[in-house]
Amino acid sequence: MTKDNHLQSGTLAPAFKATDHTGAMVALDDFAGSKLIMYFYPKAFTPGCTAESCDFRDNHKALSAAGYQIVGISPDEPGRLAEFKTEHNLSFPLLSDEDHAIAKAYGAWGTKKNYGREYEGMIRSTFAIDEQGTIQRAWYNIRAKGHAARVTRELA
């Protein structure tokens, strides 16, 4: 990690365990041997997060063809994630990070600024992880709209 807690390409992805939208436990180790796209978003059902999640849904086929699985992570509780997944027909798992532990480990939780006010929150971020669990790419402070297409262009 750099001084701003951003993960760099070539570093080992931090291990994690989290509850998914069905209430099942999911760990990074569950994806061993597969490539993975993990995206962190602030809150289900908000306009930006909905757009980003639907964009990943719409790019899922191309990313899957390139060997990637997708996982979305937010501070929402599992029941809320289940509603979000169903309402928007999302084709990949959503993980709950209510205590922000995963986001902190990935440098996706920290100080944000909005209209001159500083506060702690989710920093919209995406990570491409290879089959060995190494960070291939890390994108921080991304814009929700169009980001999934960029990830797809760069990786698929």
Per residue in 81-112, pLDDT tens? 999 999 999 999 999 999 999 999 999 999 88
DSSP per-residue codes, 65-133: HTTEEEEEEESS-HHHHHHHHHHTT--S-EEE-TT-HHHHHTT-EEEEEETTEEEEEE--EEEEE-TTS
Burial class (CB in 10 A: 0-12, 13-18, 19+), 44: buried
Report, as residue numbers or ranges, the catalytic residues: 49
Instruction: Provide the pLDDT for residue 102.
Output: 98
SS3 52: helix
Q: Residue 49 above 50 pLDDT?
A: yes
Instruction: Provide the pLDDT for residue 3.
Output: 45
Provide mean pLDDT across the span 54-58. Answer: 97
Q: What whole-number percentage of the chain has pLDDT above 70? A: 97
* CA–CA distance, 91 with 44 (Å, rounded to integer): 15
More confident residue, 1 or 71: 71
* CA–CA distance, 96 with 112 (Å, rounded to integer): 21
Q: For the chain, give every domain's residue range.
A: 17-155
Provide mean pLDDT across the span 60-88. Answer: 97
Q: Which CATH homologous superfamily contains domain 17-155?
A: Glutaredoxin (3.40.30.10)
Burial class (CB in 10 A: 0-12, 13-18, 19+), 88: middle
Provide mean pLDDT across the span 40-56. Answer: 96
Instruction: Provide the pLDDT for residue 4.
Output: 66
What pLDDT digit, counting tens, does each position of 8-26 carry? 999 999 999 999 999 999 9
* CA–CA distance, 45 with 108 (Å, rounded to integer): 19
Q: Residue 2 above 70 pLDDT?
A: no
pTM of the shown model: 0.94
Q: Residue 53 above 60 pLDDT?
A: yes
Provide mean pLDDT across the span 129-150. Answer: 95
